[in-house]
Amino acid sequence: MDLAGKTALLTGASRGLGPYIARAFAERGVHLALTARTADALEATAREATEFGVRAIAIPEDVTDPSGRMRLLERAGTLGPIDILINNAGIEWVCQYTNMSVEEIERMVQTNLVAPLMLSRLVLPDMIARGSGHVVMMSSLGGKKGSPYSATYAATKAGLIEWTSGVREELRGTGVSASVICPGFVSQAGMFAEYGKRAPRLAGESTPEQVAVAVLRAVERDLAEITVNPGPKRLMDVANAISPGAVTWILRRFGVYEFYRQQAEDNAR
């Protein structure tokens, strides 16, 4: 896809990876409809995007609200047909599963999984009718191998990976496609950056700019899935398919699971 002049709808645009993704697409000449619940930060992202000569509008909405999703699409449509949907909004909370409230579990599932599926359902028919479009799901390496104290998050991210695999094949031949991005630990942005923590050595870290570039590549080259993570954890997908128990032992032995346990204890204080 030639991105210049296209219109993208980006969720979760006010913080974390959102501003980096917005900047990367604005640099390619993509007009942006930006949404999140935090209005002030969202406006800042929009202002930065316009410095690249594109149109950008901030649309404060809660994507878990069905009415909010409809308002979002109506306002985004003022920029023109949505060519690219980037489902980036997500939440994570590291804690023991049985300490999560029913409301916290519901909120995470609605934000991370239900909202992206519903937004995609709303934009895909128009994309198919035009014969052009792309949906990007922001998943995680956590969706490939669930970590203790992050089980609900892993479940939602695994759902995005498998949704993309199935729907991408359904869309074959329509001119419309779907991709999924699976970052590992990210420095400078996101949950663990907010905690002031560095990733365990085995896991490694990527920069938010590297993740944003991966989103661009997925759309431009129509790539099914991109993993963004340095080091040996890239090999874990293959190893986990062969021997999940062995990978669990490695992650436990080299402190990855202990990292999550300690963060869960910190969050519980």
Residue indicated by tokens 């869309």 = 171
Angle of the 256-268 helix axis to the 244-253 helix axis, nearest 10: 60
Question: Cα–Cα–Cα angle for 128, 130, 135, nearest 5°?
Answer: 50
Of 47, 71, 44, the C-alpha closest to 59 is 71
Would you mind telling me the total number of residues written for the chain in this entry? 269
Q: Which of 20, 149, 153, 260 is catalytic?
A: 153
Of 227, 150, 156, the C-alpha closest to 195 is 150
3-state secondary structure 164-228: HHHHHHHCCCCCEEEEEEEECCECCCCHHHHHCCCCCCCCCCECHHHHHHHHHHHHHHCCCEEEE
Structure tokens at 205: 């870290």
- Whether 153 is a known active-site residue: answer yes
Computed from CA positions of residues 103, 86, 137, 196, in that sequence, does the dihedral angle turn out positive or negative? Answer: negative
| 183 φψ region: left (φ > 0), alpha (ψ -120 to 50), beta (else) | beta
What is the set of active-site residues?
Answer: 153
